[in-house]
Amino acid sequence: MNCRTLVSFGPAMAIILATASLNARASITGVTESNGDTDRPSAKYSGQTFNISNPNGTVLVANYTVPRFGDDVKAFTDRVHEWNAASTTVALPKYLVGGEYILNANNNRDNATLSLAVSVSVPSFIYLLIDNRLNDANAGNPPNLGPGSGKMEWVSVANGWTMAATGNNRAGNAAQPDEVGVDENGDGTVDNWSSVYRKEVGIGTATLLEFNEAGRNMYGVVVQPTPEPKTWALLLTGVGLGCWALRRRP
């Protein structure tokens, strides 16, 4: 092995180690919903247990303990809809899997003054899963977002939000946000798609606002701690020391 080989393995090792350490870590310490529908369960997050129910008092799933994000996790507090891969050939984005996530009531989608105060104990990425049909009624391409779009204008570059774009979408297009599927009714068929946007936040409370469009799926939220600087420093130091040792060999 030479230094170049070691350096080339470095990033792969870093990603594997960072992913392993991220998935075990918790970030969310509280979620407070304001101005949501009062006849449905308020927002819940990984680790909490509640009854998924509709306003008729019908319990749809009793004692649901919100798991970490992954295929077939329940998407809303008042539906049996699930988050799923966008298609049989497009997996869930790896950076979302194993993260903590927040369920909203789907019927909070039309609440114009909704807010979610999300508190985190470590610097984190907040990912929003936003229905492709927002503002343009077209499920085949991303939602129409940003200043002047009409709905969810708070999700803007000016506010720190960017596309999570790794080509993990049905179009295989890295210039568009990654996609996840929504299996409406949890019956094994994906019926709609949401695009992924993200923002990096520090320790403290971040406020998410309204979706405000009826007839769509409410947005979902996934939270992942950002890689710790000391993790990266250790890895870089390790690669550097390895190179130094290799160069000193006769």
According to CB under 5 A, which residues from 191 to 230 bind Ca ion?
Answer: 191
In the complex with Ca ion, the residue whose CB is nearer, 185 or 237, is 185
Sign of CA dihedral 10, 162, 178, 112: positive
Please, what is the minimum distance in Å from the beta carbon of residue 109 to Ca ion? 7
Q: Which of 58, 138, 205, 207 binds Ca ion (CB under 5 A)?
A: 138
Only one of the segments 26-34, 109-117, 194-202, 225-233 lies at the binding site for Ca ion (rule: CB under 5 A); that segment is 109-117
CA–CA separation, 43 and 32 (whole Å): 7
Q: Does 136 bind Ca ion (CB under 5 A)?
A: yes
Task: Compute the distance between CA of residue 197 and CA of residue 156 in angstroms, rounded to an integer.
Answer: 10
Question: Could you give the strand order of the β-sheet that contains 28-34, starting from the edge strand earlier in sequence?
Answer: 28-34, 115-120, 204-208
Print the binding letters for residues 61-90 with Ca ion: x by CB under 5 A, - otherwise. -----------x---------x-x------
Is residue 183 a contact residue for Ca ion (CB under 5 A)? yes
Burial of 128 (0-12, 13-18, 19+ CB in 10 A): buried
- Please report whether residue 115 would count as binding Ca ion according to CB under 5 A: no
Residues 12-71 close enough to bind Ca ion by CB under 5 A:
37
Residues at the contact surface with Ca ion, assessed by CB under 5 A: 37, 72, 82, 84, 107, 110-111, 132, 136, 138, 141, 183-185, 187, 189, 191
